Structure 1
Amino acid sequence: MEKISIVIPTYNVAGYLEQTLESLAAQTRPFELWLIDDHSTDQSAQLAEAFTRDHPDYHFHQFTQHQGISVARNYGIEHATGDAIAFVDGDDALDPLFVETLADSFTDGVVAAAVGYVWHGSRTTVNHPIKINQREMFNQVSSHGSEIGGYVWNKAFAKTAIDAINLRFDETLPIAEDYLFTSAFVANTAGSYAYNPKLLYTKINRPNSTIHTASFKDRQIEREVFKQINGLKHLVQ
């Protein structure tokens, strides 16, 4: 794998973003970066713009109005030039080996890679890198509570595979848009999947994050999304 593109949406995360940027600066492998600010009202945009300044592979864009995380991620997909795209949240932290490990996971036939993560304690049970097939990966990413999870932020997806199925995040969803993206990718992309259980991504438990502020209506929408995901099973080989 020659190059990983990292796409990071930011929205009012100035109190966390500096840690995220520091962890990016400590990476052991070069990467392309797209920082997309979703019209923050704090200092997030200024921090992001300053970090990308004078670095040819780092890019900053700010929306003129708040549009949502899926719009920001889709902007990143449309502009990324790397061989694979990793999606990182602007309030989380990366181990220095995050990019290197994901890049090295893309051996022959691998279409997406995942690493272990720290969030409410580790659930990792595997102690060595493994390859899994499409069906096994779909079972992992389409279920709550699995080890690999359906989140996008501990994974990288081959750009050619994303483009082949013209996959984008559903911009109408306030919740579970990541599960739908990941499940749709796997359901429509045959090949091998790599999982390295090293704990290389730290999910920060931010009090005002979507998962903590979801309304009853949001939870109803989430249930409908998982029904939609369940309907993708017939595509899996």
Structure 2
Amino acid sequence: MIAKYKVSILISSYNYAHIIEDTFESIKNQTFNFEDIEVIFVDDHSEDNSVEVIGRLADEFDNVKLYHVPEGQKGVSYPRNIGIEKATGDYIVILDADDRLDSMFIEKTYKEITENDVDMVKTSFFMGFDKKISYSQNLGRVVVHPEDVSVLMSSYNYLEPWATMYSRKFLIDNNIRFSIVHKYYEAFLFSIECICKTNKDIILLDNYEGYYWNYKLDGLHNVDVTVEELDNTIECFTEMFTLLVANKQPINCIETFFPFALSLCGSGVYNSTASDFEKASFLCKKAFNLDYVEHDE
């Protein structure tokens, strides 16, 4: 496929009519030429007037496209995968519908990815729009070599799929997509697959917060999951470790990622809506392959 645009920005939308125009403005106001940017909205069965709002943008701008997730399919992976398939730009950026890009994000990441001939460029990010919290670890500009990606395993800051520019050809040639099997942390699995399948350096601009993440701090600690979803989560992290081992990452990379992964799985158990008995049964089965029996006092 011959690229029509330099960059495609993929936005999965679900009931974001109240904020989606602000998200779009952060794209339109880029220092990069807007006409070189393809904006792809994929609506995930919105129940508000999101489709109407996006439709008006698509009517006004030739480089704005609207697609829909088919009936019977739902979840953030479907619209992101549709966006990857529909994109015609040389490079891809994933943007959540209620987040925003810094005005220089495309210019900075495009310059890095083209001048250095790499498959991905990552930046740091802010949480919030007004009272911003920086997620930078003050590492500066880092060139991560593919034979040791330990620095990217140290925090979820670098494992989110957004705040990143990807080569579309790299994603297509390696058949990298978001998992539709895993409900939680499938975004991390996508990122680790990208990290493991590239044979080029990865540029990390940790000295630049290029992405604004619209998230409430308390929301990070209030995720209710069932026992079935806990099992799915552990399977997802197992796949991540399998990728790292298959990619022959050094032991320090695995050691860096392990406590981080363990803490997220532990948080899932702690916040699960399951009963104590269900949690105990689940942990016994997973850890020791034993059935837990509840005794009457």
Q: Same fold (TM over 0.5)?
A: yes
The match for 2:126 among 118, 135, 138 is 118
Residues 142 and 17 of structure 1: is their aligned pair in 2 closer, same or farther, counting only changes over 3 Å?
same
Moved over 6 A (4+): 207-211
Residues 44 and 209 of structure 1: is their aligned pair in 2 closer, same or farther, counting only changes over 3 Å?
farther
CA distance in 1, matches of 2:83, 2:46: 17
Aligned to 1:221: 232
Residues 230 and 61 of structure 1: is their aligned pair in 2 closer, same or farther, counting only changes over 3 Å?
same
Residues 57 and 95 of structure 1: is their aligned pair in 2 closer, same or farther, counting only changes over 3 Å?
same
Shift of 1:205: 1.2
**2:126, 2:211 within 8 Å by CA — same for their partners in 1?**
yes
CA distance in 1, matches of 2:96, 2:60: 23
Structure 2 residue 59 is matched with structure 1 residue 49: no
1:17-28 matched pairs, under 5 angstroms: 17-28=20-31
The number of residue pairs the alignment matches comes to 233
Shift of 1:62: 2.5
**1:37, 1:63 within 8 Å by CA — same for their partners in 2?**
yes
Structure 2 residue 78 is matched with structure 1 residue 75: no
Deviations along 1:38-87, one digit per CA (max 9) or x if unpaired, are 11001222222222223222211123535221111111111111111111
**2:146, 2:199 within 8 Å by CA — same for their partners in 1?**
yes
The match for 1:203 among 213, 217, 229 is 213
Residues 124 and 209 of structure 1: is their aligned pair in 2 closer, same or farther, counting only changes over 3 Å?
closer
Residues 8 and 236 of structure 1: is their aligned pair in 2 closer, same or farther, counting only changes over 3 Å?
farther
1:35-184 matched pairs, under 5 angstroms: 35-63=41-69, 65=71, 67-106=74-113, 107-119=115-127, 121-126=133-138, 128-137=140-149, 139-142=150-153, 145-146=155-156, 148-184=157-193
Q: Which has the higher helix share?
A: 2
**1:110, 1:191 within 8 Å by CA — same for their partners in 2?**
yes
Q: Answer with 197-206 or 210-219: which moved more.
A: 210-219
SS at match of 1:227: helix
Q: Which amino acid aligns with 1:58?
A: V
Higher RCO, 1 vs 2 (CA within 8 Å, ≥6 residues apart): 1
Aligned to 1:194: 203
Residues 63 and 125 of structure 1: is their aligned pair in 2 closer, same or farther, counting only changes over 3 Å?
closer
Residues 96 and 180 of structure 1: is their aligned pair in 2 closer, same or farther, counting only changes over 3 Å?
same
**2:121, 2:204 within 8 Å by CA — same for their partners in 1?**
yes
Q: Which amino acid aligns with 1:201?
A: Y
Structure 2 residue 9 is matched with structure 1 residue 9: no
Shift of 1:211: 7.9
Unaligned runs of 5+ in 2: 250-297
- Scaled by the length of structure 2, the TM-score of the pair is 0.71
Identity of aligned residues (%): 24
**2:144, 2:151 within 8 Å by CA — same for their partners in 1?**
no
Q: Answer with 85-94 or 24-33: which moved more.
A: 24-33
CA distance in 2, matches of 1:63, 1:112: 26
Unaligned runs of 5+ in 1: none
CA distance in 1, matches of 2:178, 2:169: 16
**1:134, 1:192 within 8 Å by CA — same for their partners in 2?**
yes
Shift of 1:130: 2.9
